[in-house]
Amino acid sequence: MQRSNCGKTVDTYLSHAELAFEDSNPYTVGAVFVRPDANHKFTNAVHESYSDLNADELAVALEIDSTGLTWTRNPVNGGYSITLLDKGESRRFFPDFLVWKDKKIIAIDPKGGFLLQTEAGRKLLAIRDEKGQQRILVRFITEGTWSAETMKQTHNSGFSVWRMTTTGQIRCTNHGDVAGAVRKALELK
């Protein structure tokens, strides 16, 4: 009986909880381990170079770097994380990249399309500050052309950018190349 009541309490908490950005608790980017034999150098990143990027991550990192915006590769262990307010397998989300633009943080995560069904609703977030202003925007980039309505891939070519609207709808836009996808992901709306 007690377990049932505890479960109901957790469900109630999660259904009413909201994430909030706190100016008084800023994230500080720490040092990263870079393998000297397999690193890639960047111009606008917080760190001089990063290693262990897969092909999709490297393509996105190069395009982010080309924008001139300050960014970092976010390590999975010890990096910036977003608390997930549901009962899924993971409690925290570590987006692959953080980009700073006009006092906002854009968290970009290249995703395999097979993960969209399980992760889009949990991790595509727009986190607001105490005044209701969006401060952290989460974007997924997937290979291929996708439909937001069906959450299914319609073509193998191109890239799609996924986001959550202010009304809680999951939306995607389709782009011919990774450069166009990164430009769209970095838009502040």
Mean pLDDT on 151-157: 86
* pLDDT tens figures, 36-64: 998 999 999 999 999 999 999 999 999 99
For the chain, the distance separating the N- and C-terminal CA atoms, rounded to the nearest angstrom, is 46
Between CA 52 and CA 151 the distance in angstroms is 29
**Is pLDDT above 80 for 112?**
no
Domain span at residue 75? 2-185
More confident residue, 101 or 22: 101
More confident residue, 7 or 64: 64
User: Could you tell me which of 22, 15, 26, 13 has the C-alpha nearest to residue 130?
Assistant: 22
Interior angle at CA 29, CA 24 and CA 32, nearest 5: 160
The total number of structural domains in the chain stands at: 1
The set of residues, in sequence order, having a beta carbon less than 8 Å from that of 126 and lying 6+ positions away, is 134, 136, 137, 138, 163, 164, 166
146 in Cβ contact with 153 (< 8 Å): yes
Q: Specify the pTM.
A: 0.80
